[in-house]
Structure 1
Amino acid sequence: MTDDAETIEPLHPHEEEFLRALGRVMSLLPRVVDAEMLAEQEINGNEYMTLVHLSEAPDNQLRMSELASMCGLSLSGMTRVVQRLERQRLVLRVKCPDDGRAWLAVLTGSGWTRLRQAWPSNLASMRRHVFSRLEGCDLEAATVVLERIAPKP
């Protein structure tokens, strides 16, 4: 044990409770939303968010590495997601014209249609599992706190 480790204060019980609650949310919420999205729309959360990010990007396309970062996935994980979406003709992968080593993911017309179909289910799930439980909370203040932990890119 180093001298620094000996001087670190243990977590206060409220801090410990907060971290455990945050961990439960981070673990449970994606699984619950995934299950609902798969049951209702036959699309999982990573696939849905991939379509969302592409829909918001200029020309509906992003470098695979940038898309992976936005979705919180490794490049290989993002490649698997995009390959599944490609098989459904929702996304295309094309060589980046500026950099022959890089690939772009491009949202197709079918991808737009699929996103519009899935959006109501995702919205209902978010309202049911998140916002219905935050009534009376200051969402703007909560957002500021969360962005201190995970700043916008």
Structure 2
Amino acid sequence: MSSRAPQPRWLDREEMAAWIRTAAVVELLPAALDAQLRRDADLTHFEYWVLSMLSEAQDRTLRMTALAERTNASLSRLSHVVSRLEARGLVERFPCPQDKRATNARLTADGWEKVVDTAPGHLDAVRHYVIDGLTREQLAQLAAIADSILENVDPSQRITGPMTAGS
């Protein structure tokens, strides 16, 4: 008896072209955004993402576990990043009042100021690298495509929350 593995479903030319371009975007876009943030704000893209998630939370505060979920980070990675942001006075940690076993992270006034000061340059980079090169129709298509991919890679919507194209 042969225990042959099933044959892979190879990509055809059109699928391969789409995949290579998607993989290139996945690799190159984060580096381009990271370079802009490092140069202009002395932040990594992930540090800015953490600050941004806190800036949008109620009272600019989240449990570390919720922040890890929203940023797609392990608690260990997030803890290291929050420690760096704490050392810079941008974030503070404190025991969760509802559950003393949990820890909250809160954006400080300096952290809020950093987000406000950094957002325009980051927005310019996002526009330059993604938005301004697309028509309105392409933007709608991109949102729909991203939604379709996210249904598979983030079915619980832990990063985006309930979101559909045009929301």
TM-score normalised to the size of structure 2? 0.83
Letter in 1 for 2:34: D
In 2: Cα distance, 1:72 partner to 1:148 partner: 19
**Structure with a larger share of its residues in helix:** 1
Cα distance between partner residues in 1 of 2:3 and 2:64: 41
Q: CA RMSD in A?
A: 1.8
1:23-42 CA distance string (max 9 Å, x none): 11111111111111111111
Q: C-alpha displacement at 1:148, in angstroms?
A: 1.8
The equivalent of 1:37 in structure 2 is: 37
Matches within 5 A, 1:61-140: 61-135=61-135, 137-140=137-140
Structure 1 residues 76 and 136: CA distance shift in structure 2, 3 A: same
Instruction: Name whichever of 41-50 and 134-143 sits farther off.
Output: 134-143
CA distance in 2, matches of 1:3, 1:96: 54
| Cα-to-partner distance string for 1:109-130 (whole Å, 9 max, x where unaligned) | 1111010110111011111111
Q: Which residue of 2 aligns with 1:149?
A: 149
Letter in 1 for 2:141: A
Give the AA of the match of 2:10: P
Moved over 4 A (4+): 1-4
Per-residue deviation, 1:3: 6.5
Q: Return 5+ residue gaps in structure 1 as ranges.
A: none
Does 1:58 pair with 2:58?
A: yes
Fraction of identical pairs, as percent? 32
**Aligned twin of 1:26:** 26
Secondary structure in structure 1 of the residue aligned to 2:73: coil
Paired residues, what number?
A: 152
TM-score in terms of structure 1 length: 0.89
